Structure 1
Amino acid sequence: MREVAFIKQNKEKWLSLETAILNNDFKDPDELASQYTHLINDLAYAQTYYPKSKVIIYLNQLAAKAFQKIYKTKRQDTNRIIGFWKTEVPLICYQYRKFIYVAFIIFFAFTFIGAISAANNAEFLRSILGDEYVNQTIDNIESGNPMAIYGDGSNWGSFVKISIHNMKVGALAFLMGIFGGIGTLWVMFQNCIMLGSFQYFFYEKGVFWESVRGIWIHGAMEIFAIVIECAAGLILGASILFPATHSRYTSFKLGAKTGIKILISTFPFTFFAGFLEGFITRYSNIMPNWLSVGIILITLSIISYYYLIYPYKIQKQIIQTPTLPSV
């Protein structure tokens, strides 16, 4: 069968399934199971006979959405909670992986701009961080403990305060996506400019390594999570600007729901980063290098695996599994 005929023959069925998933119009789980089975068969056929066709991408995405819906209809509530982080979020991250990649590209670009700006303007850092913070950090560097500022306050107080602050930043980055993604880019710009100029400041003072092994103990997860939250904001913005085949309102609802799920998925990482900053970072000056570097690499590996690698494994598992999970 020619590809055009294949698409024409099945197009109405695929669009019907997509609309039903979007509107949550499934009263009988068996109905969804049956349609999912047919969809997987169509995908396998397309992969065999039209390996370079764009229809494979569409069917992959539709299969991912159908699989998520199947998990939602499971009877066990505990499985629903586990399935959210184990399957649903990774599938969403796979489907919207380009937004995550774009968010990281923008992150590195903005951070670089911050570092270059600080290097070419002596007053730039003070205008970003404030005289009090800069002066206090200079005093800490001169006293031999560049990371002393992280030792202020109690462990629990710092943990709670920092975690709440970072959650607010993440939520703001997502919600500002409602302005077509421009608001999200502005939040990202502010934070990246601060990060880039802040790191250059330590480089200029000759304590760059000390800052890296201290700040990034908690920063690996904290900054990574913020980038993911900004990706959620970009998804929200794109859903408004580019509704594709949906109405703008329907596209917005879908983008908002997707973005909220991604935002919620970052909260455990944000809390753990807050814990590290409140309880561990303050002792970085007395830690051996292997311990601080080990913490940084482990935390960065965990969150990188979850958002960048694990989604591919889940998607591959779905495509290669010919049978339907029980519902």
Structure 2
Amino acid sequence: MALFPFFGRAEDISPPDIEAASLRSDRFRLERETDWRRLEAIVVALEKGRPRRISDDDLLALPVLYRQAASSLAVARETTLDAGTLGYLESLVRRAWFQIYGPRDGFPGWFRRFLAGGWSEAVRALWLEICIALAVMVAGTMVGWLLVARDVEWYHRLIPGEMSSGRAPGATREALAASLSGQNDAEGLTVFATYLFSNNSAVSILAFALGFAFGIPTVLLLVYNTAVLGAMMWLFVDAGLGWEFAAWLSIHGTTELLAILLAGAAGLHIGRSMAFPGSQSVLVAAESSGRRAATVMVGVVVMLAIAGLLEGYARQLLQPAPARAAVGSMMLLFWITYFTVLRRRSATIA
């Protein structure tokens, strides 16, 4: 034993003093234990989801009992009562606080608030990073286009053979057009949709995770992925299939590319807060920006799931280019509306 706050060093304490302190501790517990047990019974009933078993008197007394227990805990900490009583009070006060002040709804309620304004609010907070990520993606697309236009060998360097699926320089116009056609195998579409969702989720999560390295790897990843897009765009435009490729891409790309854009912006947001924390410490700035970016990433996962379904099913089942472009345009309009017009109404309700 080290120090007693009221009696000096432990070796200087006489047996009568120890006995007096013990009596004070016992008296303190006995005077308040009845209220503690009453509060515990109410908390247990609430934890088990049985509020009907609690009497009206106990419900009315709950706030008072909680404050008394919190006050007892403060006194116990100051007078160093026995560890058992102190631990019991700490647990009781913590459990009671959660039942009185803790959240009342679970995941469904949280998800409703998330869709009703939490997500869009987090996205709006990243407007600067979204602009930066958009500029990087546009630049990456232009780089891919210009590299392949200058030397077609860059196409094979940017796009591996297993990824091109026959879409490569030297292919005939008919072969390229056939590669844009749909598939009618439902089982194959399911596997394809699952693969696309996994791949795009990995790219987005990586773009977000790399933000902790001050955002530099995130920028490089965005440049590379959009350079692949630029190379493929050059291929189809050069073959006179620019409109068909744009329609083929838009049906899922308006959702998928926007999701990757938001993921990259989330990563850049964390990197920027770490590089320029302002008056905060780096850890505090990273924690604050990380919570906001994580909210955006939950929405990114939702968008990627939708994009995977569009890419694996709708794009394969809808053959005419105008139909594909119409779906892609509607999805783009939906996301723009959600993040601009409807967001203000949602924020007001919240």
Do both share a fold (TM > 0.5)? yes
Partner of 1:96: 126
What is the rounded CA distance, in whole Å, between the counterparts of 1:270 and 1:132 in structure 2?
Answer: 22
- Contact residue 248 and residue 325 of structure 2 kept, 8 A: no
- Contact residue 140 and residue 146 of structure 1 kept, 8 A: no
Q: Which has the higher contact order (CA 8 A, sep 6+)?
A: 1
Match of 2:137 among 107, 113, 125: 107
**Where do 5+ consecutive residues of structure 1 fail to align?**
1-27, 29-71, 319-324
Q: Kindly tell me: are residues 252 and 132 of structure 1, through their superposed partners in 2, closer, same or farther at Cα, counting changes over 3 Å?
A: closer
Cα deviation per residue 1:194-232 (whole Å; 9 max; x = unaligned)? 111111111111111111111221111111110010000
Q: Kindly tell me: are residues 131 and 156 of structure 1, through their superposed partners in 2, closer, same or farther at Cα, counting changes over 3 Å?
A: closer
Counterparts in 2 of 1:45-56, with a 5 A limit?
Answer: none
**Where do 5+ consecutive residues of structure 2 fail to align?**
1-62, 64-100
Question: Which AA in structure 2 matches 1:124?
Answer: W
Question: Which AA in structure 1 matches 2:204?
Answer: G
Cα deviation per residue 1:36-80 (whole Å; 9 max; x = unaligned)? xxxxxxxxxxxxxxxxxxxxxxxxxxxxxxxxxxxx975333332
Q: Kindly tell me: are residues 306 and 135 of structure 1, through their superposed partners in 2, closer, same or farther at Cα, counting changes over 3 Å?
A: closer
Partner of 1:146: 179
- Contact residue 183 and residue 189 of structure 2 kept, 8 A: no
1:276 Cα shift?
A: 1.1
Question: Which AA in structure 1 matches 2:266?
Answer: A
Q: Kindly tell me: are residues 134 and 94 of structure 1, through their superposed partners in 2, closer, same or farther at Cα, counting changes over 3 Å?
A: closer
What is the rounded CA distance, in whole Å, between the counterparts of 2:117 and 2:270 in structure 1?
Answer: 21
Partner of 2:258: 224
1:181 Cα shift?
A: 0.4
1:313 Cα shift?
A: 5.3
- Contact residue 247 and residue 322 of structure 2 kept, 8 A: no
Q: Kindly tell me: are residues 279 and 140 of structure 1, through their superposed partners in 2, closer, same or farther at Cα, counting changes over 3 Å?
A: farther
- Aligned identity (percent) is 21
Counterparts in 2 of 1:193-204, with a 5 A limit?
Answer: 193-204=227-238
- Contact residue 155 and residue 279 of structure 1 kept, 8 A: yes
Match of 2:220 among 166, 169, 186: 186
Partner of 2:199: 165
Structure 1 runs (4+) deviating above 3 angstroms are 131-135, 138-141, 148-153, 307-315
Corresponding pairs, count: 246
- Contact residue 146 and residue 211 of structure 1 kept, 8 A: no
Counterparts in 2 of 1:173-322, with a 5 A limit?
Answer: 173-284=207-318, 286-287=319-320, 289-311=321-343, 314=346, 317=348
- Contact residue 147 and residue 211 of structure 1 kept, 8 A: yes
Q: Normalized against structure 2, the TM-score is what? A: 0.64
1:262 Cα shift?
A: 0.7
Alignment RMSD (CA, Å)? 2.6
Structure 1 window deviating more from structure 2 (289-298 vs 127-136): it is: 127-136
1:282 Cα shift?
A: 2.1
Q: Normalized against structure 1, the TM-score is what? A: 0.68
What is the rounded CA distance, in whole Å, between the counterparts of 1:244 and 1:150 in structure 2?
Answer: 53
What is the rounded CA distance, in whole Å, between the counterparts of 1:197 and 1:151 in structure 2?
Answer: 28
